Amino acid sequence: MNDTRRTRAVLGVLLLASLAMITVDYRGGDHSPLRGLRGFGEVIFGPIEHAATAVVRPVVGAFDTVTGSPGARRRINRLEKENQRLRQQLRTGQIDKRRADELDRLLGTAGLGGYRIVPAQVISAGEGLEDTVSIDVGSGNGIKPDMTVLTGDGLVGRVTRVGPSTSTVLLATDAASSVGGRLESSNEIGIVQGAGRRSGKALKFQLLDSTAPVRPGQRIVSFGSQGDRPYVPGVPIGTVATIERTPGSLTRTAVVRPFVHFTGLDVVGVVVTAPKRNPRDAVLPPAPSTPPPSVPPTPPPSPPPSAPASPKSTPAPRTTPRG
Amino acid sequence: MSRNVLAVIVIVAALILQVTVANRLLLPGSVIPDLVLLAVVALALVNGSLLGLVTGFFAGLATDIVPPSDHTIGRYALVYCLIGYVCGLAAPEMDRSPVLPFVAVAAGALAGSVLYALVGSMLGDPRARWPVVSHVVPLQAFYDVVASPFVVWAVLRLTTRAERQRNPAGLDPVPGFYRAR
């Protein structure tokens, strides 16, 4: 007998339990009593993920190399030739070297902007619709919630929850994430809103001033939040790809191509100390040698006299040294 | 090994594989098959509705609290519990045709993705907006169907081995693809 009264009773109880959990967690928000349950999850699953990542890392690395390239066929041919020559050991050595290079670039970026960072590795990624990853550093390494996470290329996201040896990072592409952004070499500010990396357009930039000039090819850096939490200023975010015009809208929206390759994250850095002075555009990579025809090589004209009202989480950039 | 222990092992293995390997792969369309959901469906089809719904609830709860998760706790628990129950109801029919289990897995996976998105939009989750969902759900169902033979095969193999250990004298006591209570 499959569908007994007992089965239905258990079904009812468990459904009620999950509905109750959803209600409590939803109403509680950041202070919900069920956050303890997540802490429990970090303690239990964190070490397992650590261990599992060490085992499966070459698998993920190899898979990324094959699928991550646009000219896959050409690359596969070349890789096959290479594979014939290289022994297994050599290949592991290459993976390590790539990681070392990433770390080098990361440290270079940190030095350029004056950030103090803790390097970390991504060990797992979020399920379903959310763009989150967990990294292998936690409160034991001085990580606290609301710290900026970056790579050598640019902004990754912010730390949302910290466990003893792992932390959870909300990526900038997540639909629940919004970052204050500023256009390179003009003071136009806006909000960089995640659209979910699965929707095709990873990031959108909402200019607060709908009359401000914005062109494809302009680059965006982070604006910095109050007290440098969660976002420190000056981190490169991406380049403007296209501009969406919505008639009658109060703001103008641009689709942004991020600097960071969000689907292939490996080595990241967590900013534990913000820079003493705002690095402004210093961290941006050198401008491309052949600019796209629509973009003049000279910086855009001086910004309009009055900056629009800044969003709540992003006060005016600080240029004076802090005490 | 009892069925309960087996179910726990399968779920934990699926969950760890999901977050450390599957979610980091670059698949076309950047959608990933939901291995935990597939494991729940397969276990429910083998074990019937009671064990199916209990497995689903605890698998969902574990998915809700596994480190990079960042949604309202209880969403996956609710969805997987329901899916486990419904798929368990279909368990006695599984002997009729060898294709039926795979159809059931596909249906279960599709229902699971839709239900999860539905709960999300009811809670006003910005991630579960229509443009994203309409892109993700069909693709995810497709990937689930592609991945399902492997998960179903693994679960079946583990179950039959456990059964054989329990009565080592006879041949395989499971007549069809699935044996339901």
Is the CB of B85 inside 8 Å of chain A's CB atoms? Answer: yes
Tell me the whole-structure pTM to 2 decimals: 0.72
Which among A222, A294, A182, A206 has a CA at the least distance from the CA of A255? A206
d(CA B87, CA A65): 38
Within 10 angstroms of residue A245's Cβ, the number of other Cβ atoms is 8
Q: Which residue has the tokens 């080592």?
A: B168
Which among B118, B95, B103 has a CA at the least distance from the CA of B148? B103
pLDDT at position B77 is: 92
Domains in chain B: ranges and CATH: 3-24+31-165 (1.10.1760.20)
Angle at B132 between CA A190 and CA A230, to 5 degrees: 40
- Please check whether residue A12 lies inside any domain of the structure: no
d(CA A286, CA A301): 20
Distances (CA, A) of A86 to A80, A81, A91, A320, B73: 10, 9, 7, 53, 47
Task: Please name the residues in contact with A283: beta carbons below 8 A apart, sequence gap of 6 or more.
Answer: A109, A112, A113, A221, A234, A235, A236
Partner-chain residue, chosen from A20, A127, A160, that has the shortest CB–CB distance to B63:
A127
ipTM over cut 0.95: no
Furthest C-alpha separation in chain A: 78
Q: What b-and-e string marks burial along A79-112, b requiring 16 or more CB atoms within 10 Å of the CB?
A: beeeeeeeeeeebeeeeeeeeeebbeebeebbee
With a CB-CB cutoff of 8 Å, which residues 129-148 of chain B face chain A? Answer: 129, 131-133, 135-136
Whether A175 sits inside 8 A of B19 (CB atoms) is no
- Please check whether residue A292 lies inside any domain of the structure: no
Q: What b-and-e string marks burial along A255-289, b requiring 16 or more CB atoms within 10 Å of the CB?
A: bbbbbbebbebbbbbbbbebbebbbbeebbeeeee
| Count of domains for chain A | 1
A-chain residues near B62 (CB < 8 A): 41, 45
Model confidence at B173: pLDDT above 60? no
Give the number of A-B residue pairs with CB atoms closer than 8 Å: 200
- pLDDT tens track for A14-65: 999 988 888 888 888 777 788 788 888 888 888 888 888 877 777 766 666 6
Q: Which residue has the tokens 């302009």?
A: A218
- Please check whether residue A320 lies inside any domain of the structure: no
Q: What percent of chain B has pLDDT over 90?
A: 12
Which among A205, A290, A321 has a CA at the least distance from the CA of A256? A205
* Tokens (6 digits) for A70: 């646009």
- Please check whether residue A13 lies inside any domain of the structure: no
For residue A189, list its beta bridge partners: A182
Domain that holds residue A114: 34-284
- Measured in angstroms, the CA of B124 and the nearest CA of chain A are apart by 10
- Please check whether residue A28 lies inside any domain of the structure: no
Nearest CA in chain B to A45: B66
A-chain residues near B66 (CB < 8 A): 41, 45, 124, 127
Model confidence at B42: pLDDT above 50? yes
Q: What rounded mean pLDDT belongs to chain B?
A: 81
pLDDT tens for chain A, 323 residues long, are 455 788 888 888 999 998 888 888 888 877 778 878 888 888 888 888 888 887 777 776 666 666 555 566 666 666 666 666 565 455 456 666 777 777 777 777 766 666 778 888 888 888 777 888 889 888 888 888 889 998 888 889 999 988 888 899 999 988 888 898 888 877 788 899 888 766 667 788 888 877 778 888 888 888 888 777 888 888 888 888 888 877 776 777 888 888 888 877 888 888 888 776 677 676 777 665 544 444 444 444 444 444 344 343 434 333 334 33
Whether B74 sits inside 8 A of A25 (CB atoms) is yes
pLDDT at position B1 is: 57
- Please check whether residue A98 lies inside any domain of the structure: yes
Residue ranges with strand state E in A163-265: 167-171, 178-183, 189-194, 203-207, 219-222, 236-244, 252-258
- Please check whether residue A195 lies inside any domain of the structure: yes
Q: What rounded mean pLDDT belongs to chain A?
A: 75
Whether B67 sits inside 8 A of A160 (CB atoms) is no
Model confidence at B80: pLDDT above 90? yes
d(CA A173, CA B30): 13
One-letter amino acid for residue A75 of the chain: R
- pLDDT tens track for B116-130: 888 888 888 888 888
Is the CB of B124 inside 8 Å of chain A's CB atoms? Answer: no
Which among A136, A125, A179 has a CA at the least distance from the CA of A267? A136
